[in-house]
Structure 1
Amino acid sequence: MAEVASLAVGVIALAGLFNNTIECFEFIQLGRNFGKSFQTSQLKLDNARLRLSRWGASLGLGDSPQEIQSLEQRFGSGQKSDQAEALLGQILDLFAEAEGMSQKYKRRTKAGDSSLAVFHPETDLEPANVDLHRKMRQLSIDRQNRTGLRAKTKWALYEEKRFRRLLEDVIELVNSLVELFPASQAVQQQLCQREAAVIGADEDISMLQEIAAEQDKALETALAKVAKSTRGSTTVVFSGSNNTGFQLGSNSGSISGFTFGKGN
């Protein structure tokens, strides 16, 4: 009985860590030193957050505390909960270390220096990419329990090499979290399908597809399925009255069994 109670407490603590970790992404800005690579870098950061949120959602870690207490059976033992807690703690440590380096960079740089300027996703991303940013951000936020989260001040990564290292380390830790709970991967695939449906194939998602191929294979597969489904769709619009008028149609893929001709 004591072991069950301990596991329940551990799961609640893990949920709190998960929500805090997802929230940390919200406060990261990228410096204008990134130049043209800002577009890709921002979407890579958004995707890393999305993938972590997917993992947590597959375990119900964004649910209310009352619901979380019933999740013990998903963990099997307190050991997995402890391991996941340690991995999330490492991600938080990486963010804290990166923020500390950011503060050091600011202190040794003259105020007003152009190297301290930052990008703003809502205004600096290209139209197609800002749409992807908004969708991935909202999907991640929707998987959080934001109750009790404290507001923080935004901070910036000014050096691209530090960003790349941070991202690589975060992706590696998320990989470890996913591998720790193999039974949840089926749920993650379902969540991926929903993500792909929200992101859609009508927009220019080529940059996200490249990013997913590199760091999120599950999303890459889901996006490919949505794109294939869209390519095979057919749209036909009839306009006119009294059985006369014109037909406007578009199709991507094979089609048969349709004839268009003059009515009787």
Structure 2
Amino acid sequence: MEVAALIISGAVTLPKLFRVVADCYGLIELGRNFENDFGQCRLKIDVLQNRLVRWSEAVDLHNNPRFNEDSTDADKEVKKTHRLLNEIGDHLRTAIRATDNYEADRDPDAVEPKCMEAGDLQPAEKRLHTHLRDRIHHRLNRMTKHAGAVVNKAKWVIYKADQLGKLIKESAELIDQLENLWPVKDDYEKLVKADIEDVKETEVLKVLHEAARSVDEALAEKAMASLLPGAVNRNWLRKATLSEDGFLHVGNTVTNMTASGLVNESDELVIKGSSRMHIGNQYGHRGMWESK
């Protein structure tokens, strides 16, 4: 993709600027060095693009007349929205330039490296990828009459994991700001629910929860809630490392009591020496603090 495809005049309307930025995420491909964690990386891009497109629907970007004025004539909130979307575009431009530089330095006689493809996804990952792409395309197609898609549809490749991680982190932080700038909480919640209501398989929900964490926390929470509907307590630990006399308890001890709606999560723990860690809830029973 030519970098020029992302250079947007400050005089364009927000719907046009948004469409260019949103389309560019859908044009990302990943190089073969992502082979070991391709599924999660591919899905994080999907989740990120879906979140941005969902935001535009929540604020009614293409129908609200406030958003259809040139940035030079817009009010303060709309001008800030222009700035945030342009910042997202800046991060995309940086990533595209890195791709151009990488490819320019490659031996011109070398075989062009192949990219990862949807066929390389695991079954649950592939089903989720298809679901998210369908959601994104459905929303974007409804917007076509308002703002055309990117003319240059050439794909562009990210070759380095740190480059992708930086792009996702910076983009997610800017979408946080967009959502906070336009606080339509009820609309966000309704659309997040719609994103997941057709996802029923436990394995797909687990994959979605992992992909959405740190990228789309609202979607990650909804996936977790769907995994264990109505559970007394929910305890989640991804990884723990124990040494010496360290002690860890994960789970619930409930005696003659009722509890509901409690969520306990931890990503990674390192427990050393005589340290003790409890994840969960314990009632009416001798606890880990009194005795092992």
2:29 maps to 1:32: no
SS at match of 1:143: helix
SS at match of 2:13: helix
2:107 maps to 1:110: yes
- Which runs of 5 or more residues in structure 1 are unaligned? 1-9, 232-264
Q: Provide the residue aligned with 1:212 in structure 2.
A: 212
Q: Provide the residue aligned with 2:200 in structure 1.
A: 200
Higher helix share: 1
Which whole-Å CA distance do the structure 2 matches of 1:43 and 1:165 have between them?
16
SS at match of 1:116: coil
Which whole-Å CA distance do the structure 2 matches of 1:71 and 1:186 have between them?
20
By how many angstroms is 1:211 displaced? 2.5
Q: Provide the residue aligned with 2:120 in structure 1.
A: 124
What letter matches 1:178 in structure 2? E
- Residue 18 to residue 230, structure 1, CA distance change in 2 (3 Å): farther
By how many angstroms is 1:126 displaced? 1.2
Q: Provide the residue aligned with 1:178 in structure 2.
A: 179
Post-superposition CA distance 1:160-192 (Å, at most 9, x none): 11111111111111111111112x122111101
Which whole-Å CA distance do the structure 2 matches of 1:112 and 1:179 have between them?
50
Q: TM-score, normalised by structure 2?
A: 0.66
By how many angstroms is 1:213 displaced? 3.1
What does residue range 145-156 of structure 1 map to in structure 2 within 5 Å?
145-147=143-145, 148-149=148-149, 150-156=151-157
Which whole-Å CA distance do the structure 2 matches of 1:54 and 1:227 have between them?
22
Q: Which moved more, 1:215-224 or 1:41-50?
A: 215-224
What letter matches 1:136 in structure 2? L
SS at match of 2:95: helix
Q: Provide the residue aligned with 2:158 in structure 1.
A: 157
- Count matched residues: 213
Which whole-Å CA distance do the structure 2 matches of 1:55 and 1:177 have between them?
8
By how many angstroms is 1:113 displaced? 4.5
Which whole-Å CA distance do the structure 2 matches of 1:26 and 1:112 have between them?
29
Tell me, yes or no, if the aligned pair for 1:32 and 1:115 is still in contact at 8 Å. no
Which whole-Å CA distance do the structure 1 matches of 2:152 and 2:192 have between them?
29
SS at match of 1:117: coil
What letter matches 2:137 in structure 1? I
Which whole-Å CA distance do the structure 2 matches of 1:92 and 1:25 have between them?
10
Q: Provide the residue aligned with 2:285 in structure 1.
A: none
Tell me, yes or no, if the aligned pair for 1:39 and 1:125 is still in contact at 8 Å. yes
Which whole-Å CA distance do the structure 1 matches of 2:196 and 2:45 have between them?
17
By how many angstroms is 1:227 displaced? 3.0
By how many angstroms is 1:108 displaced? 0.6
* Higher RCO (C-alpha under 8 Å, 6+ residues apart): 1
Which whole-Å CA distance do the structure 2 matches of 1:112 and 1:155 have between them?
20
Q: TM-score, normalised by structure 1?
A: 0.73
Identity %, equivalent residues: 25
Post-superposition CA distance 1:214-238 (Å, at most 9, x none): 322211222233334499xxxxxxx
| Aligned CA-pair RMSD | 2.6
